[in-house]
Amino acid sequence: MVFSLTSSLSDAIGPAAAKKIERAFAMTTVGDLLGHYPRRYADPAELTPILDLPVGETVTIVAEVLSATARGMRNRPGAMTDVIIGDGNGRVSLTFFAKNLKQAEWRAGEMRRGRRGVFSGKVGTYNDVTQFAHPQYELFDDDESAQARADDRAHRPIPIYPATSAVSSGQFRELVEAVLPKLGEVPDPLTDEVRRREQLLDARTALVQLHRPQNLNEVDPAVRTVRMHEALVLQTALLQQRAAVRELSATSRDATPGGLLERFDAALPYTLTPDQQTVGEQIAADLTGSWPMNRLVQGEVGSGKTLVALRAMLQVAETGGQAALIAPTEVLASQHLRSITRMLGPHLAPEVMPTLLTGQMSAPERRKAALRVASGQSLIVVGTHALLGDKTTFADLGLVVVDEQHRFGVEQREALRAKGSSPHALVLTATPIPRTVAMTVFGDLDTSVIRTMPAGRAGIETFVAPLAEHPDWFRRVWDRAAEEVAQGRQVFAVCAAIDTTKKSSGEEDAAALVPTEEGATGPRWGVVQLDEALATHPTVGQLRRAVLHGKMPADQKDAVMQAFARGEIDVLIATTVIEVGVDVPNASTMIVLDADRFGVSQLHQLRGRVGRGEVPGLCLLVTEAEAGSLARERVEAVAATLDGFALAEVDLELRGEGDVLGSTQSGVRSSLRLLRVVKDSQLIARARDLAEQILETDPQLASHTGLREVIAQRVTEDDRAALAKN
SS3 626: coil
How far is Cα 671 from Cα 96, in angstroms, rounded to an integer? 35
The answer, yes or no, to whether residue 430 has pLDDT greater than 90, is no
Q: In the prediction, which pLDDT does 151 show?
A: 52
Residue 87 DSSP label: -
* Pairwise CA distance, residues 180 & 390, whole Å: 50
Question: Does the pLDDT value for residue 654 go beyond 80?
Answer: no
Annotated domain spans of the chain: 51-156, 260-450, 460-641
**For residue 624, what pLDDT is reported?**
92
Of the candidate CATH numbers 3.40.50.300, 3.40.50.2300, 1.10.10.1100, 3.30.499.10, the domain formed by 460-641 belongs to 3.40.50.300
Phi, psi (rounded to 5 degrees) for 82: -100, 125
Mean pLDDT is lowest, of 36-45, 182-191, 416-425, 594-603, for 36-45
Element (H, E) at 651: helix 644-655
Torsion angle, alpha carbons of 635, 640, 642, 644, to 10: -60
- Mean of pLDDT values over 106-123: 87
Q: How far apart are CA 603 and CA 635, in angstroms?
A: 8
Q: How far is CA 178 from CA 21, 34, 462, in A?
A: 14, 11, 58
Q: What is the pLDDT of residue 434?
A: 67
- Of 113-117, 484-488, 508-512, 518-522, where does the model show the most confidence? 484-488
Taking the domain 260-450, which CATH number applies?
Answer: 3.40.50.300
Whether residue 83 has pLDDT greater than 90: yes
Q: Does 99 have pLDDT greater than 60? A: yes
Q: How confident is the model over 182-188, as a mean pLDDT?
A: 94
Mean pLDDT of 550-576: 90
394 — pLDDT class (breaks 50, 70, 90)? very high
Q: Among 59-68, 155-164, 627-636, name the one with the lowest average pLDDT.
A: 155-164
CB count within 10 Å of CB 510 equals 10
Check: CB of residue 566 under 8 Å from CB of residue 540.
no
pLDDT for 406 beyond 60? no
- Written in H, E and C, the secondary structure of 402-451 is EECHHHCCHHHHHHHHCCCCCCEEEEEECCCCCHHHHHHHCCCCEEEEEC
- Please give the model's pTM, rounded to 2 decimal places: 0.64
Cα–Cα dist 439/234, whole Å = 10
Instruction: Confirm if 557 and 361 have CB atoms less than 8 A apart.
Output: no
What average pLDDT does the segment 137-161 reach?
Answer: 65
Task: Tell me, yes or no, if the two domains 51-156 and 460-641 fold the same way.
Answer: no
Of the pLDDT bands very low, low, confident and very high (cuts 50, 70, 90), residue 71 is very high
pLDDT in tens, 332-363: 888 899 989 999 999 999 999 999 998 888 88
pLDDT in tens, 267-285: 998 889 999 999 999 999 9
C-alpha dihedral, 570 to 573 to 574 to 580, nearest 10°: 30
Say whether pLDDT at 399 is over 90.
Answer: yes
pLDDT of 716 reads 58
Q: How far apart, in Å, are the Cα atoms of 363 and each of 328, 358, 386, 561?
A: 21, 10, 12, 22
Given a cut of 60, whether residue 524 has pLDDT beyond it is yes
- Give the confidence band of 445 by pLDDT, cuts at 50, 70, 90: confident
**Distance separating the N- and C-terminal Cα atoms of the chain:** 42
pLDDT at 262 over 90: yes
Position 47 confidence tier, pLDDT thresholds 50, 70, 90: low
Residue 726 has pLDDT above 50, yes or no: no
**Coil vs helix vs strand at 490:** strand
Contact assessment for residue 81 and residue 96, using Cβ atoms and an 8 Å cutoff? yes
pLDDT, mean of residues 629-644: 88
Work out the mean pLDDT of the chain and round it to a whole number.
84
Q: Give strand ranges (E) for 664-715.
A: none
Of the candidates 193, 194, 229, 217, the one whose C-alpha atom is nearest the C-alpha of residue 34 is 229
Per-residue pLDDT tens over the stretch 296-325? 898 877 788 889 999 999 999 999 999 999
The Cα–Cα gap between 610 and 372 comes to 35
Find out whether 357 and 366 touch, Cβ atoms under 8 Å. yes
Predicted confidence (pLDDT) at residue 118 exceeds the cutoff of 90: no
Mean pLDDT for 637-658 is: 74
Q: What mean pLDDT do residues 502-529 have?
A: 56
The DSSP code for 189 is S
pLDDT for residue 426 is more than 70 = yes
In eight-state DSSP terms, residue 597 is G
- pLDDT recorded at residue 371: 94
**Which residues are CB-contacts of 678 (< 8 A; sequence separation ≥ 6)?**
434, 436, 649, 652, 653, 657
CA distance 714 to 672: 10
Binning pLDDT at 50, 70 and 90, where does residue 135 land?
Answer: confident
Percent of the chain with pLDDT over 90: 47
The correct CATH number of 51-156 out of 2.40.50.140, 3.40.50.300, 3.40.50.150, 1.10.101.10 is 2.40.50.140
Q: Is 622 helix (H, G, I), strand (E, B) or coil?
A: strand
Q: What mean pLDDT is predicted for residues 362-377?
A: 93
Stretch 709-723: mean pLDDT: 66
- pLDDT for 142: 60
- In what helix (H) or strand (E) does residue 70 lie, and over which residues does it extend? strand 58-72
Dump pLDDT digits (tens) for 201-250. 999 999 999 999 999 899 999 999 999 999 999 889 888 888 887 888 88
509 pLDDT tier (thresholds 50, 70, 90): very low
